[in-house]
Amino acid sequence: MALEQPEGGVGTSARILDTAERLVQVRGFNAFSYADIAQELGVTKASLHYHYPSKAVLGQELIGRYAARFGAALAEVDARLSDPRAKLDAFTGLYADVLRDQRMCLCGMLAAEYQTLPKTMQTAVVCFFNHCETWLQGVLREGQERGTLLLRASTADTAQMIVGTLEGAMLIARSYGDINRFQAAATQLLTSLTSDAPTPAP
Amino acid sequence: MALEQPEGGVGTSARILDTAERLVQVRGFNAFSYADIAQELGVTKASLHYHYPSKAVLGQELIGRYAARFGAALAEVDARLSDPRAKLDAFTGLYADVLRDQRMCLCGMLAAEYQTLPKTMQTAVVCFFNHCETWLQGVLREGQERGTLLLRASTADTAQMIVGTLEGAMLIARSYGDINRFQAAATQLLTSLTSDAPTPAP
DNA sequence: GTCTATAACGAGATAGAC
DNA sequence: GTCTATCTCGTTATAGAC
C-alpha cells in the first residue's frame, strides 16, 4: 500500500472519490458535474474520465467505498462496545458525525434521487440499507435477550424504523442548519427503546 | 372560480403545476426539465415560460400550492376528528396517500436538494415544515392535557421527531418500493406515543 | 396563449497528442 | 496519467410571428 503511494498522499482516484462524495452528500448526484470535481482538484474533465469512465461507474464506486467504510465503523463499534444501548448510541453518533459538516448520509441522498439512478446504483443503495438493518437487528436481538431494550415491534421492523428515523432527522435538520434537531430526535428514539415510562400525565 | 374555468377543466397553469409537482416528487427538482412537462402536456417549452417565466418561479408556486393543499387537509382533519390520537393517525395517513403513488413528499424531496435551491424556495420549504410542526404541537398538547398521549420530550421536539420519522420512512420505503415499510414505522411511532408498555422482557 | 426558431450555456463523453 | 480539443446533446430562457 505504502509503496503504491510513496508521497504519503492519497492517489488521484481516491481524491476524486473524496470530492465527488462530498458533492453528492451536499448537493446530490444529479446536481454536480465532472467540471465541479475537475475545478476543485485542478485537473481536467478528461483526466477524471480516465479514472471513472462514466458518472454511473463513479457513483457505483462511491457507494461501494462508503458502504465499506460504514461497515468498518460498525465492526469497530462491535469491538469497542458490548452493551446494546451503547451500540445504538454509537450508531446514531455515526450519523451525527456526517451531519456535523453539513452533509446528508450518502445513501439517504441517493434514496431521494432513487428513481433517476442507474440500476446498479439503485441496487447498491438498497444493499447499504440492508446492511445497516442487519447490524441493527443483531443489536436489538441481544438487547431484547438481556432485557435492556424494549421493542414495540419485531427486530426487523424496529431496525427499519430506526434507519428511517435517523435518515429523516438528518434530512430535515440539514434544511434548518441545526444539528440539535437531529440530536433531539436521536435522543427520543433511544429513550423510546430503553424506557417504558415517559413523563406520565399528572 | 367556475367562471374562470368555463370548460370545467383545470386551466393550463394548473395542469403545468400538476405535472411538475409529480415530476419533482418522483425525480426531484434538479432531475426534470421544461421539456419533460411540455412533452407530457403536448405544448411547447415556450408556452410554459409564458405561465412560469423561470424554473425558480415554477418551484415557488409548486411549494405554495402544495402547502396550501396540505394546510387544508389538516384543517379538514381538525373539523372531522377531535381525538388527538385519531388526528395523529390521520396525519400519517396523509403521508401514506402521497407514498401510495410512488411519490415522495414534495418538501421532503426538496429538503434533500436544499443546498441547490434558490433562496425563495429554501425559505418556503422550511415554512412548510414549520406549519406541519405547529399543527402537530397543538395536537400533542391537547393529547397531553387529555392524558391520551405520553410524550418523551417537549411538544416542539416531539413534533420535529414525528415529521422527521415520517419523511425518513417515506424516503426509504420508496427505494424498496414497499409501502408496508412506511406503515410499520408509522405504527411504531403512534404506539410509542400512546402506550408506555411495549412487549416486556420475560 | 401558443407557436417556431434560436440563443447561450453546461452536461457527459471521446480522440489523440504528450 | 494528464492534457487540448471537440462532439453531441439537453438545459433554461428569449424574440417575435400568429
Indicate which CATH number applies to the domain containing A103. 1.10.357.10
Q: Which of A191-195, B7-11, B75-79 has the lowest mean pLDDT?
A: B7-11
C-alpha cell at A62: 462511491
Cβ atoms of A146 and B173 closer than 8 Å: no
Is residue B12 one of the residues assigned to a domain? no
Residue B42 forms part of a structural domain: no
Grid cell 435477550 in the structure block, residue: A145
Distance of residue B71 Cα from the nearest chain A Cα, in angstroms: 19
Which of B167, B200, B194, B192 is CA-nearest to residue B182? B167
Asked whether residue B103 carries a pLDDT value surpassing 60, the answer given is yes
- Distances in Å between the Cα of A64 and the Cα atoms of A19, A130, A167, B132, B197 are 15, 14, 19, 36, 41
Give the span between the Cα atoms of B24 and B112, in whole angstroms.
12
Query: Is position A139 within any domain?
Result: yes
The pLDDT value given to residue A5: 45
Please count the residues of chain A.
202
Q: pLDDT 10s per residue in chain A (202 long)?
A: 443 444 445 899 999 999 999 999 999 999 999 999 999 999 999 999 999 999 999 999 999 999 999 999 999 999 999 999 999 999 999 999 999 999 999 999 999 999 999 999 999 999 999 999 999 999 999 999 999 999 999 999 999 999 999 999 999 999 999 999 999 999 999 999 997 656 554 4
The answer to whether residue A170 sits within a structural domain is yes
Please answer yes or no on whether A151 and B198 come within 8 Å at the CB atom.
Answer: yes
What is the number of domains present in chain B? 1
- Does residue A71 fall inside a structural domain? yes
Print the domain residue range for B180: 56-191
Enclosing H/E stretch for A81: none
What cell does B20 get?
411538475
Count of other CB atoms within 10 angstroms of residue A159 = 24
Q: Residue A123 falls within a domain, yes or no?
A: yes
Hey, how many other C-beta atoms are within 10 angstroms of the C-beta on A33? 12
> pLDDT category, B10, cuts 50, 70, 90?
confident
Chain B residue closest in CA terms to A159: B185
What whole-number distance in Å separates Cα of residue B148 and Cα of residue B153? 15
Using CB atoms, which residue from B163, B174, B188 is nearest to A153?
B188
Q: Nearest residue of A to residue B170 by CA position?
A: A164
Residue B29 lies inside a defined structural domain of this protein: no
Q: Measured in whole angstroms, how far is the alpha carbon of residue A62 from the centre of its chain?
A: 12
Cα distances (angstroms) measured from residue A6 to each of A1, A2, A48, B172, B178: 9, 6, 22, 42, 49
Residue among A116, A122, A117, A69 nearest A97 (CA): A69
Grid cell locating A95: 450519523
**pLDDT above 50 (res B201):** no
3-state secondary structure B159-188: HHHHHHHHHHHHHHHHHHCCHHHHHHHHHH
- pLDDT by residue (tens digit) across B175-188? 999 999 999 999 99
Residue carrying C-alpha cell 427499519? A160
Q: How far is CA A23 from CA B97, B113, B130, in A?
A: 32, 12, 27
Task: Identify all chain B residues contacting A151, using CB atoms and an 8 Å cutoff.
Answer: 198-199
Q: Do A171 and B176 touch (CB under 8 A)?
A: no
> Å between A58 CA and C14 C1'?
17
Cα–Cα distance for residue pair A58/A24, rounded to 1 Å = 11
Region of A31 on the Ramachandran plot (φ > 0 left; ψ -120 to 50 alpha; else beta):
alpha
Write the pLDDT tens digit of every residue in B157-167. 999 999 999 99
In this prediction, residue B6 carries a pLDDT of 42
Nucleotide nearest to B53 (CA to C1'): D13
Distance CA A24, CA B8 (A): 44
Residues 45-64 of chain B within 7 A of strand D, judged by CB, are 45-46, 49, 53-56
Report yes or no on A47 lying in a domain.
Answer: no
Is the C-beta atom of A147 closer than 7 angstroms to strand D? no
Query: How far is Cα A126 from Cα A132, in angstroms, rounded to an integer?
Result: 10
Q: Could you read off the pLDDT of B14-50 as tens digits, one per residue?
A: 999 999 999 999 999 999 999 999 999 999 999 999 9
For helices B55-80 and B12-27, the axis angle rounded to 10 degrees is: 90
Any residues with CB less than 8 A from the CB of A26 and at least 6 apart, and which?
A: A102, A103, A104, B115
Mean of the pLDDT values across residues B1-19?
70
Q: Are B104 and B25 in contact (CB under 8 A)?
A: yes
Q: What distance in Å separates residue A7's CA from the closest CA in chain B?
A: 35
Contact, B93 CB vs strand D, < 7 Å: no
Distance CA A202, CA B145 (A): 9
